[in-house]
């Protein structure tokens, strides 16, 4: 299911969403998911 969604959507959107979550988690003071 995840592979189909990633294949349908461009890779740029996935990278941008991951950077936003990391940026929001950094100032929050929570441990990074990666």
pLDDT at res. 30: 63
At 18, list the tokens. Answer: 């991951």
Residue pLDDT, tens place only, 4-31:
555 666 666 555 665 656 566 556 556 6
Chain centre distance of CA 3: 14
**How many residues are present in the chain?**
34
pLDDT at res. 6: 58
In whole angstroms, give the CA distance from residue 32 to residue 5. 24
> Which residue in this structure is represented by tokens 């441990």?
31
């Amino acid at each position: 299911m995840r592979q189909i969604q990633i294949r349908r959507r461009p890779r740029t959107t996935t990278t941008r969403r991951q950077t936003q979550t990391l940026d929001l988690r950094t100032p929050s003071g929570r441990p990074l998911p990666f």
